[in-house]
Amino acid sequence: MDNLNNIPFVVGVGIDIVDVARIQKLLLNHEESFLERTFTQAEIDYCKKFTNQAQHFAARFAAKEAMVKALGTGFVGNITLKSVSVENQSDTSAPIAVLDNFATKRMNELGATKMLISLTHLKDYAQAIAILSK
């Protein structure tokens, strides 16, 4: 039998879906305040490189929701929209979950050692999943 200590143990899972049109409307009507309140500068810089910016912002918004669901907190107390963010690996462009000190503390309280995320988007919807494991 294989060593069971090498099998990842799932501590938390979160998933979210976002209507791209909702994000597009926010970008059209409240771009500066929406972006400043919701995304890190790295996320803004990444999404602004694309012609379909709303899809990329929607995917990152879904990822934020999925990450706080996996943490079991929602956006309360010290866990804010900027407490969790998405960056991309330079070599593969794969998304990486980035957590601030408050989100990292919560992850540690759950006994998790990593958070994995996956994002996808189409014309109308963006979706993300987050998995906490140890």
Residue 60 near residue 43, CB atoms below 8 Å: yes
What's the pLDDT band for 44 if we cut at 50, 70, 90?
Answer: very high
pLDDT at 4 over 90: no
Domains defined for the chain, CATH in brackets: 9-133 (3.90.470.20)
Per-residue pLDDT tens over the stretch 45-72: 999 999 999 999 999 999 999 999 999 9
For residue 128, pLDDT beyond 90: yes
* DSSP labels, 20-49: HHHHHHHHHHHHHHHHHHH--HHHHHHHTT
One-letter amino acid identity for 64?
K
One-letter amino acid for residue 6 of the chain: N
Tell me what the pLDDT averaged over the chain comes to: 94
Indicate the pLDDT class of residue 1, thresholds 50, 70 and 90: very low
Within the chain, strands assigned E span: 10-19, 84-88, 95-99, 114-121, 125-133
> In the chain, what is the straight-line distance between the N-terminal and C-terminal CA atoms, in Å?
21
> ∠ at Cα 130 (57, 100), nearest 5°?
75
pTM of the model: 0.92
Q: Which residue would you say has higher pLDDT here, 1 or 89?
A: 89
Express each pLDDT in 60-106 by its tens digit.
Answer: 999 999 999 999 999 988 999 999 999 998 888 899 999 999 999 99
Q: For residue 125, is pLDDT > 90?
A: yes
Nearest to 27 by CA among 5, 50, 3: 50
Instruction: List, in order, residues 6 or more apart from 61 with CB less than 8 Å away.
Output: 18, 23, 38, 126
pLDDT recorded at residue 92: 86
